[in-house]
Chains A and B, each alone.
With several copies, the nearest count.
Chain A
Amino acid sequence: MKVAVVGGGPAGYVAAIRAAQLGAKVTLIEEGELGGECTNWACIPSKTLLRAVEVYKEAAEYLQGLPKIDWKAVQGRRWAVVKRLREGIEKLLSMNEVEVVKARAQPAPGRAVKAGGKVIEAEALILATGSVPAPLPNLPFGGKVLDTKSALLLEEPPNSVLIVGGGAAGVELATLFAKVGSKVVLVEVMDRLLPALDADIGMTVERELRAMGVEVYTSSTVLSVDDRGRAVSARLKTAKGEIALEADYVVAAAGRRPNPGPFADLVKTDERGHVVVDGQMRASAGWVYAAGDVAGPPYFAHKAYAQAKIAAEAALGRKAYYEPLAVPAVVFSDPEVASVGMTEDEARRAGYDAKSARVPLSISGMGLITGGAGFVKLVYDGNSGRILGVHAVGRRVSEIAGEAALLVEFGATVEDLALVMHPHPTISELLVEAAELAVGKPTHIAKRGP
Chain B
Amino acid sequence: PAAEAPTSQKVAAMPAARRLARELGIDLSKVKGTGPGGVITVEDVRRAAEELARQEKAPPAPPP
Contacts and interface: CB of A to CB of B under 8 A. Distances in A.
Tell me if chains A and B make direct contact, with any CB pair below 8 A.
yes
B15 A409 contact: yes
B52 interface: no
A413 B37 contact: yes
A320 B36 contact: no
Contact of A386 (B6, B12, B19): B12
Given A410-B36, A411-B39, A411-B41, A419 B16 contact: yes
Interface in B1-30: 2, 6-7, 9, 12-19, 22-23
Contacts of A413: 14, 16, 37, 41-42
Interface residues of B, number: 21
Interface string B24-51: 0000000000011101011100000000
Nearest to A322: B6
Interface in A414-439: 415-416, 418-420
A41 interface: no
A410 B39 contact: yes
A301 interface: no
A123 interface: no
A219 interface: no
B6 A410 contact: no
A150 interface: no
B19 A410 contact: no
A412 B17 CA distance: 11
Contacts of B17: 416
A384 interface: yes
A300 interface: no
A279 B3 CA distance: 13
A230 interface: no
A410 B16 CA distance: 10
A412 B9 contact: no
Which residue among B12, B16, B41, B42 has the maximum number of chain A CB atoms within 10 Å of its CB? Answer: B16
Given A409-B15, A412-B14, 10 more contacts: A279-B6, A319-B23, A323-B7, A385-B37, A386-B12, A411-B36, A412-B37, A412-B39, A413-B41, A416-B36
10 contacts: A318-B23, A321-B19, A384-B43, A409-B36, A411-B12, A412-B14, A415-B19, A415-B37, A416-B37, A419-B16
Q: Which 9 A-B pairs have the closest CB atoms?
A: A411-B12, A419-B15, A415-B16, A416-B16, A319-B23, A416-B14, A411-B39, A416-B15, A323-B6
